[in-house]
Structure 1
Amino acid sequence: MSQPLPTDPPPEPQAPEPYVSKIDRRTALAWVGVVGAAAAVGAGVVVYGPKFGGRPAVEAKGYGTDPNLVHPAPAPWPRIMTRAQLDTAAAACDHILPATATAPSARALGVPDFLNEWVSAPYPEQLKDRPLILGGLDRLAAGAQRRFGKPTPALSAAERAALIGPLAAAKGADLAFFRRIRRLVIGAYYTTPQGFKDIGYIGNVARARDPGPSDEVLAHLERELARLGL
């Protein structure tokens, strides 16, 4: 088999398969608590009806004011994303934080499961985000069918970028959706060990010695102190 010439463009990455859940609900619930401290709010009761995925209406209660985030009980509410919304959330994760040579993608770490748990939780912050995020996912899924004639899991990397990328410069609900889901994806990703490693965070690691600030930092500090007359 002949090798591609150096001038050949890199092969187009294959479109990912429909999203498969990566984390269990206990992990997702603890993740929601870390990212938003949502479960610290008082218990609420929410009715889930046809507006959110066509499911029969059921009552869902929150944990109350003193949840156990180390060993959380099973969630008392259902996850509400449809199959299409979850797949589209995975596509958004692929666009916002794709895999690199040194770090896995947000999809691979289960961030779509976190997003599903986030919009399903019956707390004020999540209730406010729910229509914004689910509506944005529905518009993206419809846009994939309209523009490319395929569902979001079948989009190539280039098609995915063409669909989601322009939202960063959009207006109104599309811009609000993009900013919110980007913030949630990044916030969730960088609370994981893999996210810590990606940014070089080494907290909670014992060190035999502390070398202190570098000579460059000390020189800068001295200049600033002199400028302030200190």
Structure 2
Amino acid sequence: WHLRECLLGLQVLAYNRHTYETVAQLLIVTVVPAPGGEPPYQGEFLVGNRNVEELLPVAAQETFLGATAGVWEQDDLHVINITSALDRGGRVPLPIEGRKEGVYVKVGSRGGFSPCLASAASPQSRFRCSLGQQPLASCYDTFAPHFTIRWCNLTLLQVWPSPTSPGPVWGSGVLEEGGDFQPPTEVPPRDLLPGYLVTLLVPLAVAALLCLLLGHLMCCRREGV
């Protein structure tokens, strides 16, 4: 299906972590399809030393994209999605200075993955992660010291565009010759009396038998002095 331009209204609720003060704001978002479609190559990084609100500003996203370009080796990167790790089942960090909730950042590009990223997401790297070791990659320092990437949570996706189904073909609205509408044949009348009698008489017969049985038990089976 094709996404057309539309308006989306979102009610955003936020609270202060220190005072627990809550505010609400209505946000109107204009949804438009991407000019070139969805990027076929997408990578999702888990940033362990950030909260989600720290990566929402444009300046922070540009800094992250600059660090990502060093490992991806592409210059057409852009942010697709930013999600808090708490929404993915992460634990709330302890109230200790420096602890962050973590953020998943999905980045897209039209260029393929670099050997460094492919190595970090390889089965050998997954096996090393299961042993508590770092994956096989040599591109960790490009994000330091601003971002701490959890490389064992790296996800690489290749998204291929789905074929669009052809739409309906509209005709002129005039029936062709010999294409007159043929109504269905008439249904012969049915005799509904037997079914009605069965539905009505069977419950009455059962009720009469129960009444006779109850009367027999109450009148003929009484015991007394």
TM score, norm. by length of structure 2: 0.24
Of Structure 1 and Structure 2, the greater strand share is in 2
TM score, norm. by length of structure 1: 0.24
Of Structure 1 and Structure 2, the greater helix share is in 1
Query: Which structure has the larger Rg?
Result: 2
